[in-house]
A = this chain, B = another copy of it.
């Protein structure tokens, strides 16, 4: 007999998980993590490596990721100053699911583009 209770009782995410998903669901976080997954990067490298991100947003994103324990920030006291960013062990565990997502995106982008074109054609009357 199927479960006929009105709904899965709760509201999908009872907020602790939402905190995490909100971070992951961020536009820039994913890109930063993927890049750092290859190797450590300097600030400027990330800035150049992620098309369209502003200096401000890169800084904010890195701070968030550092706060969440996903990224480690290392300052080298030199002139000119040098700051390296790398994934923590925790950050590296996130890499697998993110990579899966990225590969899905690559594998299905044509399907999606086609679906959009179809939808737009249909709704334009």
Q: List A residues at the B interface (Cβ < 8 Å).
A: 7-8, 11-13, 15-17, 19-27, 30-31, 34-35, 38, 45, 48-51, 66-70, 90, 93-94, 96-98, 100-106, 108-109, 111-116, 118-120
- A7 close to B104 (CB less than 8 A): no
**Could you say which residues of chain B place their CB within 8 Å of the CB of A17?**
102, 105-106, 109
- A30 close to B35 (CB less than 8 A): no
With A90-B115, A101-B97, A115-B69 given, is the CB distance from A34 to B22 under 8 Å? Answer: no
**Could you say which residues of chain B place their CB within 8 Å of the CB of A98?**
101
Contact of A7 among B31, B45, B108 (CB under 8 A): B45
**Could you say which residues of chain B place their CB within 8 Å of the CB of A13?**
31, 51
- B90 close to A111 (CB less than 8 A): yes
Complex Cα–Cα for A16 and B110 (A): 9
**Could you say which residues of chain B place their CB within 8 Å of the CB of A38?**
8
Complex Cα–Cα for A70 and B115 (A): 9
**Could you say which residues of chain B place their CB within 8 Å of the CB of A25?**
24-27, 30
